[in-house]
Structure formats: C-alpha cells, structure tokens
C-alpha cells in the first residue's frame, strides 16, 4: 500500500503542484502563484515562506511577493506559530469559492462597462452607430445573464459546503 511519503506519493504531489501552476498560467496569472496554491492545498497546516521556497526550489523573494498577492485576494492566510518568528501561511477555508468570487467580480466589471455605455448611447443615440448600440445591448444582456448564473452557482456552492 502506498503512503504519502513514498516515491509515488511525492511524485504525485510534485505533478499536482506543477499542473496547478500551469492552470493558473492559463488564466493569465503567475505560474508560481498556482504552484504555491497547489502546495498549500496539500498541507494540513501552516507552511513557512522558507519551506515554500525550498520545496518549490525558488528564491524566497518571489515567493513572498506572490504570497502577499494571494493574501490580498483572500486565498491564503497568515498563521502565527507559537515560538517561531518566521511567517507561516495556509490555504483559507473555501479557497475555491473565494477564487471564484474574485474571478466573478472581474467579469462583472464588463457588465458595469456595458451598462454605462448603454446609458450614454441611449442619452445621445446620434453619437454612435446602430451597430455599436446593438453590440452594447448584447454585451449588457450577456454579462447580465452570466452574472446571475455565476452568483446563483456561488449561492448553491456555499449551501453545499455548509450542509
């Protein structure tokens, strides 16, 4: 029977970290950010910045910067470890829901943009072409529908987590 500490388990963990980094990169985020999240998802407790850097084989400076960004997004939290002055972090509770909320807010900025320009072109329809007004209306409908569905999903997700 394989254990976490055997070579197969460690290889699986390393592969997950690498693949999670690539997944973040596909979203236009730093690969290191995904690798750090991938590492913290595996841990059942806080990990120091030094240990994160060592395990990912990168220098501490970039790790510190990325962890700060993850903390600002609410995806990791700083944890105090009694008797140790180093900085420790762990993945927040509901890291997936928090990441989804951050992503949804970015998408909703497109809805705000569409609504603003629909209002402006409605006030002054001669300033723009019918084609452009039509595209703005479509954009507003699209992002409005997306926002409703994403928010409904988030409500369902939170209900599922709490049950």
Residues 105, 33 share a domain: no
- The whole-number average pLDDT for the span 114-134 is 94
Cα 67 to the chain's mean position, in Å? Answer: 12
Kindly state whether residue 2 falls inside one of the protein's structural domains: no
Residues 109, 57, single domain; the answer is no
In a domain, 1, yes or no: no
> What is the spatial distance between Cα 145 and Cα 39, in angstroms, rounded to a whole number?
35
Query: Based on the domain organization, do 104 and 58 belong to the same domain?
Result: no
5: pLDDT strictly greater than 90: no
Contact 34, 23 (CB under 8 A): yes
Of the candidates 46, 70, 91, which is a domain's last residue? 91
Residues 31 and 60 in one domain: yes
Phi first, then psi: give them for residue 19, nearest 5 degrees: -65, -35
The band of 4, judged by pLDDT with boundaries at 50, 70 and 90, is low
Residues 31 and 16 in one domain: yes
Q: Mean pLDDT across the chain, nearest whole number? A: 94
User: Does 127 lie in the same domain as 77?
Assistant: no
* Residue 49 covered by a domain: yes
| Structural domain ending residue among the three candidates 68, 91, 114 | 91
Query: Is there a single domain that holds both residue 81 and residue 18?
Result: yes
User: 145 and 75 share a domain?
Assistant: no
Q: Is residue 116 part of a domain?
A: yes
The residue from 91, 121, 136 where one domain ends is 91
* Res 9: pLDDT: 79
Q: What is the CATH number of the domain that holds 22?
A: 1.10.10.10
DSSP labels for 45-108? S-EEHHHHHHHHTS-HHHHHHHHHHHHHTTSEEEE--TT--S-EEEEPTTHHHHHHHHHHHHHH
The whole domain housing 87 covers 7-91
Number of domains in the chain: 2
- pLDDT per position as a tens digit, 59-107: 999 999 999 999 999 999 999 999 999 999 999 999 999 999 998 998 9
**Distance in angstroms (rounded) separating the CA atoms of residues 29 and 9:** 27
C-alpha to C-alpha distances, 8 to 11, 52, 124, 155, nearest whole angstrom: 5, 21, 66, 38
pLDDT at 1 over 60: no
Half-sphere exposure of 53 (CA within 13 A, CB side): 16
């Amino acid at each position: 029977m394989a254990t976490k500490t055997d070579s197969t388990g460690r290889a699986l963990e390393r592969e997950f970290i690498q693949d999670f980094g690539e997944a973040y990169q596909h979203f236009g985020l730093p690969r290191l950010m995904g690798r750090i999240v991938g590492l913290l998802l595996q841990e059942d407790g806080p990990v120091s910045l030094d240990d994160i850097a060592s395990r990912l084989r990168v220098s501490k400076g970039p790790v510190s910067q990325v962890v700060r960004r993850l903390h600002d997004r609410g995806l990791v939290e700083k944890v105090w470890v009694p008797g140790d002055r180093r900085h420790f972090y762990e993945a927040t509770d509901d890291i997936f829901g928090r990441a989804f909320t951050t992503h949804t807010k970015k998408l909703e900025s497109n809805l705000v943009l569409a609504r603003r320009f629909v209002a402006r072109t409605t006030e002054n329809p001669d300033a723009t072409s019918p084609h452009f007004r039509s595209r703005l209306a479509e954009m507003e409908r699209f992002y409005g529908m997306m926002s409703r569905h994403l928010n409904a999903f988030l409500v369902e997700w939170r209900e599922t987590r709490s049950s």
